[in-house]
Amino acid sequence: MTNDQTTNSPWVAYLASADGWVYQSADDAAEDVGVDGEVRIGVARGTCAPVEDDGALRLPGGTYSTGDQVFELETYIDGEGNEAESAEVRFAQAKAMAAGLNAAAGLPAVTVERPDDETVEIHVNGQVVASANHDEHGWSGMDAVEKTALAVVRAFGAAVAA
């Protein structure tokens, strides 16, 4: 990745395990590491942003370009009893920071929303651009809509917040 590609890539918020596997939510992380487990939360782009690894997202290892990470902190899922420092709150703050940085750079905001367990919606700047539900499309249809939308979004260099 050239320096120009790095500086023009979108900022993304991430919530990951200590060894770099990225979670979609604090609830997913809690299921994996437990409510007293430690996670990493940050905002990054380019060489520091999560990458596909064997069907999942993982933080890259090795060297990275200076300026590709705003911050990263290690915290506990439950915030050690302080809700304001919980992974859920810190991840929400990281998402807001990434959205603000992308808006300042004129990049579109893309989110994956799950209004319930059987529905997935893809939003671009707050508008629904794709959706699927289990009753009409089945699990594989929902998965296909999400994967296709995310692949297109990433190909255009937009930020994706799950």
Interval 2-29: pLDDT, tens: 444 445 678 889 999 999 999 988 999 9
Nearest to 6 by CA among 58, 40, 46, 54: 46
Say which residue the tokens 């893809």 belong to: 122
**pLDDT tens digit string along 105-122?**
887 777 788 888 899 988
Which element (helix H / strand E) includes 64?
none
Q: How many helices (H) and strands (E) does the chain have?
A: 4, 10
Residue 28: strand, helix, or coil: helix
Q: What is the mean pLDDT of residues 50-55?
A: 83
Given a cut of 90, is residue 89 above it in pLDDT?
Answer: yes
Domain ranges of the chain: 1-107, 108-162
Alpha carbons 137 and 146: distance in angstroms, whole number? 12
Would you state the pLDDT for residue 70? 86
Q: Give one DSSP letter per residue of 80-121, joined into a string.
A: GG-GGGSHHHHHHHHHHHHHHHHHHTTPPEEEEEEEETTEEE
